[in-house]
Structure 1
Amino acid sequence: MAKLPTLRSRQRGVTAIMTGLMAVVLFAFGGLVLDLGHLYIAKSELQNAADAAALAGAKELNHTAAGVTAAVNKAIAIAAQHRYNFSSTLNITIANIRVGSCPNAGNANAFGRPGTRAPTCTFVPASSITSNALAAGMSFLEVDSGTQNLNTYLMRVAGAAYNTTATAGYAVAGRFETMVTPIGVCAVDPANRTSQYTHSNGQTELVELGFRRGVTYNLFQLNPLASGPSDPYLINPVDAYPNTCDPNHSSANFTAPFICTGSSVVLGSGTGKVYTNTGMTASLDSSLNSRFDDFKSPSVCDPTSAPPDTNIREYRCHPNSALDPACTNSATDTTPTDWMEPGASTLPNREFVETVLNKPTYALPPGPTGITFDKYGPLWSYGPAYHTDGSSPPKAGTPYSTSDANGSNMYHNAAGVNFFDTSGAGYPGSVGTGFSGGTPPPAPYNQTSGKYFKAPSASHPGVVNRRILHIVIVDCRSAPVGPNSCATMDVVGIGRFFMQLKADFSGGPNRYLDAEFAGLIDPVPPSDIRLYR
């Protein structure tokens, strides 16, 4: 009789089967440890190489085609000094490199990178930069290592699909240039950076290079070298003195993107020399007007790199004649009548420079030889005048209040004139709710609702203080030295000027760039080069 198999005999060989099955699982888990560790190390090596190459290359960018070429060569050389996958050399070419005007590419490169980040701008292949015009404004360098395949060690046990894995390094480096708009205007009093004026009631007022905070200046009227109103100077935005000046870099086409963003690379401090160009092409007004959410032709501004302000309400003067396009009769536009001189018969209309020996007469006191109240135009739309602090040389002290101003003769040679409407519907008594620009004194600009406020379109998110222009103030006591497109001038300061309304350079005597002086910058906003991933 045959012996029946027992349960134990039926289980013979199970251990071998289980060992084989478990080996596959163990190898797979081992692969997670070994191969993922290998992938992590290789990723770090490629990222370090991309970072180093982008930083080194970005230092060579100077908004010229030659600068882009130098940046590409430097990035390729630095990348080749790095190893990945333990011993492999990272060899990249110009095809791995792009340039842009902001750190966030809105369009993917050949390797499908980067992911979505905001705000974005369009990056272009470095190989496409064949002229200085194409290089203008390109201050960021993108380096992509390219997708690198790595052989796995244990994960391949799980199947052929796991024989290789891939990783890459991606980096963008560059600079947001010094935030100085490449426009130059003449100092009213270049010999005195700050001075103090004491009004008849004993209150002091800070005066900076002859400019008064809270007062509007038509920047087309501030060149005392001409026999009449003259253009502001156009500053070469990329050639820093004493380096060689390329006259093409002072052209309207080249400087337009820099005027859009309000940036340049030539001044690290508030003094020194700059290369200037006489004349202001009509089309450049569109580069300034991006701050009012106006991007119509011929504007070259990109809303992502040159966004509008958070408040685009224009503050226009009251018309003294139909021939003055800067002023308005429209009840829908904000004029000085909304916050200035309640019930008076002579309302401010527009600031005109009255010339004595071809120089603007903004010197205090505002007596018979100076401008009278009705000529000032909108006052304090961005902020008030300031007292001095009692130091020598004087510095900004406390801001004026509307009652301080109304009790003085600071804008008129006769006492008893109320300059500001202090009723609830007049000059603002508090900063608008949610205003993101710090805690400035109340003013029409820093309102967030009501008649003094207008938001940009939803598709163009605004940035606070975009209407502030950091403008080069030059010493015009001597004529520029050198050829017109590369003439040198001495810088005595950088001023903050608030655009009250859109610029108009269309020609004739009515060209205007009306801006309220808001003080000198000290120190100048610095430029830097950093990584953006």
Structure 2
Amino acid sequence: MSTPHQPRRRIRRQRGAFGVIYAIILPVMLGMVGLAIDLSMMYARGHELQAIADSAALAAARALDGTPDGLARAKENARTTARTAEYRFLRPETIDWTSSALSVGPTRDGPWTLADSANGSDLPNMLFARVDTGALDERYGRVAIAFLRVVGVAGEQHLARRAVAGRKESSIGPVAVCALSQSPLAMRSNAPAANAEEAVEYGFRRGVGYNLLNLNSHGNTARSFIVNPLDFPPAPARVSHQSDDALRPFVCTGHMPAPRIEGGSSLYVREPFPVSMVRELNARFASFNGGSVCTRYGAPPDSNVIDFRGPYGGFYISGAPTPLNGSAASYFAQGKLFTVADADVLPPGTTAASYGTLWSFGRPVRYAGGALGAPFTRNDWSKLYPVTAGAALSSNYTFADSPYERGLSPHRQSPVGMSGITKRRVLNVPLLDCPVSGGSARVLAIGRFLMTTPATESPPAIHAEFGGLTTYGELAASAVLYK
């Protein structure tokens, strides 16, 4: 039989049991709380260090171009980028950069060389950057442990993070043409005019327009090429990567996912360049109809879509009816299909109109003893572009930069209803070592050409003015993180 005191005894016994359980659980609970706090501090510091490594590696990779100047820019970019970063989110501090944190290598897997030690014959291949925050002052990776020390974890943890970045693509469109000469730099006398020695690069004259679909350095039949943008020797080429459907998006963007293409590179090519793809090229002029696969978002137009054939108010060329032809008239001589502007002997019937648009993108320069000299002036047009009938062309343009580069009224027209990007209509074109046989070709150089006017299917034409050669370092390209 129970007594009135039994419930109280039971309660006291239960309180004792709870006390024992609480005493057992409390250290576990404190440990879990401590684990959460300490791990969150370590996670936050690791995230900060990774952000520093990522941003510095990307900044360095964008500058690497295989030259000493590119390496110097990469080191400076990494330093300035890291110094703008902060760590310790509770009490932010800036980073004191250490040059030994940056290494460069030929592939995303290395081998790695400290940027300060990179030089010599290996430098042209150093196109990837690695940043290791472990090489920075150790205080940046130090995290004080408050709670986990009770379970044997050291009172300080030292963290480091690494990042590897490199170029992913080159700003080279799939259009390719034959170089008109094997000579990187030659002199054109422009005789009988005096004091008119002009520099010519791989047979192309600066300031002269060419129909890129109607050239051949070895015969009178037009040869043009489209480049396989996905496969590069020595890896095998896939047939599917050279189909029109696979190629059109790359014609839209003018980019290829190859980290480096330059003189000496090999490419897989197909000929001729499909004339229907001029629709994709014309996205640069805000034209997205006619079956083009381009969109204004993935392939925006140029910020200046003016037609440099004229006429427009303030047009800078006079002496020929407008609109001019977008390029100089085609002509076959000396075993080559080029233009009247390239012939050593002026063909009969050459008029001012034969030269088409001139100097919209750049000016020719003088040949100076094997080097590029000073630019010609507009007063030299009669020497550079003589005629056999009628008056010669003349220009009223007085500025040192070109109408396109100046980008101001009256030589500017913005795309309607959409934003544009500067130099979208500049094509970086591989100049091939011709004749080309089989499905691959060797690149002699990369030429810069400005589309003077929208391309056409009939007659087949990509009118583009030669603006000189470009280098790997000058080509805008994206860099990505690999690790």
Distance 1:369 1:180 in 2: 37
Q: CA deviation at 1:32?
A: 12
Q: Cα deviation per residue 1:180-230 (whole Å; 9 max; x = unaligned)? A: 1111111111x2111112332212211011110110111111135675444
Residue of structure 1 in register with 2:437 after alignment: 480
Distance 2:375 2:267 in 1: 33
SS at match of 1:446: helix
Q: CA deviation at 1:283?
A: 3.6
Residue of structure 2 in register with 1:352 after alignment: 329
Matches within 5 A, 1:232-247: 232-247=224-239
Distance 2:45 2:480 in 1: 19
> Counterpart of 2:466 in structure 1: which amino acid?
F
Q: Quick check: 2:309–2:324 contact (8 Å CA) kept in 1? A: no
Q: Which moved more, 1:409-418 or 1:176-185?
A: 409-418
Q: Quick check: 1:182–1:236 contact (8 Å CA) kept in 2? A: yes
From 182, 189, 199, the equivalent of 1:198 is: 189
Residue of structure 2 in register with 1:41 after alignment: 42
> Counterpart of 1:359 in structure 2: which amino acid?
L
Q: Quick check: 2:221–2:337 contact (8 Å CA) kept in 1? A: no
Q: CA deviation at 1:278?
A: 1.2
Matched, 1:514 2:472: no
Q: CA deviation at 1:419?
A: 2.4
Q: TM-score, normalised by structure 1?
A: 0.56
Residue of structure 1 in register with 2:255 after alignment: 263
Distance 2:53 2:449 in 1: 39
Matches within 5 A, 1:43-58: 43-45=44-46
Q: CA deviation at 1:371?
A: 5.5
Distance 1:346 1:287 in 2: 26
From 370, 378, 384, the equivalent of 2:357 is: 378
Matched, 1:254 2:246: yes
Matches within 5 A, 1:21-36: none
Distance 1:286 1:416 in 2: 36
Residue of structure 2 in register with 1:5 after alignment: none
> Counterpart of 1:298 in structure 2: which amino acid?
G
Q: Quick check: 2:175–2:273 contact (8 Å CA) kept in 1? A: no
Residue of structure 2 in register with 1:497 after alignment: 449
Distance 1:33 1:456 in 2: 60
* Cα distance change of structure 1 residues 451 and 462 upon mapping to structure 2, 3 Å threshold: same
SS at match of 1:310: coil
Q: Quick check: 1:348–1:373 contact (8 Å CA) kept in 2? A: no
Q: Cα deviation per residue 1:475-509 (whole Å; 9 max; x = unaligned)? A: 22x3422xxxxx0122211100000111123xx5x
Q: Quick check: 1:387–1:396 contact (8 Å CA) kept in 2? A: yes
Residue of structure 2 in register with 1:121 after alignment: none
Distance 2:482 2:298 in 1: 15
Residue of structure 1 in register with 2:480 after alignment: 530
Q: CA deviation at 1:249?
A: 1.4
Residue of structure 2 in register with 1:278 after alignment: 271
Residue of structure 2 in register with 1:421 after alignment: 395
Q: Which moved more, 1:250-259 or 1:522-531?
A: 522-531
Q: CA deviation at 1:468?
A: 0.6
Residue of structure 1 in register with 2:429 after alignment: 471
> Counterpart of 1:455 in structure 2: which amino acid?
S
SS at match of 1:313: coil
Residue of structure 2 in register with 1:303 after alignment: 296
* Cα distance change of structure 1 residues 349 and 498 upon mapping to structure 2, 3 Å threshold: closer
Q: CA deviation at 1:274?
A: 1.2
SS at match of 2:198: strand
Residue of structure 1 in register with 2:134 after alignment: none
Distance 1:464 1:237 in 2: 23
Q: Quick check: 1:384–1:399 contact (8 Å CA) kept in 2? A: yes
Distance 1:409 1:203 in 2: 7
Distance 1:282 1:370 in 2: 30
SS at match of 2:261: coil
Q: Cα deviation per residue 1:313-355 (whole Å; 9 max; x = unaligned)? A: 11236xxxxxxxxxxxxxxx549x932234x689954632112
Matches within 5 A, 1:302-381: 302-316=295-309, 333-334=311-312, 338-342=315-319, 349=325, 351-356=328-333, 357=335, 359-360=337-338, 362-365=341-344, 367-368=346-347, 372-381=351-360
Distance 1:354 1:268 in 2: 30
Q: CA deviation at 1:530?
A: 3.0
Q: Quick check: 1:221–1:229 contact (8 Å CA) kept in 2? A: yes
Q: CA deviation at 1:47?
A: 7.8
> Counterpart of 1:233 in structure 2: which amino acid?
F
Q: Quick check: 2:309–2:322 contact (8 Å CA) kept in 1? A: no
Q: Which runs of 5+ in 1 are unaligned?
A: 1-30, 56-152, 155-170, 318-332, 431-440, 482-486
Matched, 1:455 2:414: yes
> Counterpart of 2:386 in structure 1: which amino acid?
H
* Cα distance change of structure 1 residues 518 and 33 upon mapping to structure 2, 3 Å threshold: farther
* Cα distance change of structure 1 residues 370 and 228 upon mapping to structure 2, 3 Å threshold: farther
Distance 1:296 1:187 in 2: 32
Residue of structure 1 in register with 2:204 after alignment: 211
Distance 1:50 1:450 in 2: 43
Distance 1:417 1:234 in 2: 39
Distance 2:413 2:33 in 1: 57
Q: Cα deviation per residue 1:42-69 (whole Å; 9 max; x = unaligned)? A: 245468789999x9xxxxxxxxxxxxxx
Q: Cα deviation per residue 1:295-323 (whole Å; 9 max; x = unaligned)? A: 23533334344322111111236xxxxxx
Q: Cα deviation per residue 1:127-146 (whole Å; 9 max; x = unaligned)? A: xxxxxxxxxxxxxxxxxxxx
Q: Which moved more, 1:202-211 or 1:42-51?
A: 42-51
> Counterpart of 1:339 in structure 2: which amino acid?
Y
Q: How big is the alpha-carbon RMSD for the aligned residues of Structure 1 and Structure 2?
A: 4.0
Matches within 5 A, 1:100-139: none
Distance 1:258 1:247 in 2: 16
Residue of structure 1 in register with 2:5 after alignment: none
SS at match of 1:412: coil
SS at match of 2:174: strand
* Cα distance change of structure 1 residues 44 and 504 upon mapping to structure 2, 3 Å threshold: farther
Distance 2:251 2:244 in 1: 10
SS at match of 1:409: helix
Q: CA deviation at 1:370?
A: 9.6
Q: Quick check: 2:428–2:449 contact (8 Å CA) kept in 1? A: yes
> Counterpart of 1:462 in structure 2: which amino acid?
G
> Counterpart of 1:391 in structure 2: which amino acid?
G
Q: Quick check: 2:168–2:480 contact (8 Å CA) kept in 1? A: no
Q: CA deviation at 1:175?
A: 4.4
Q: Cα deviation per residue 1:403-431 (whole Å; 9 max; x = unaligned)? A: 232xx421115699552232xxxx2x33x
Q: Which runs of 5+ in 2 are unaligned?
A: 1-31, 58-145, 148-162
> Counterpart of 2:299 in structure 1: which amino acid?
A
Q: Which moved more, 1:513-522 or 1:284-293?
A: 284-293
Q: Quick check: 1:239–1:275 contact (8 Å CA) kept in 2? A: yes
Q: TM-score, normalised by structure 2?
A: 0.61
SS at match of 2:210: strand
Distance 1:52 1:516 in 2: 42
Distance 1:421 1:313 in 2: 18
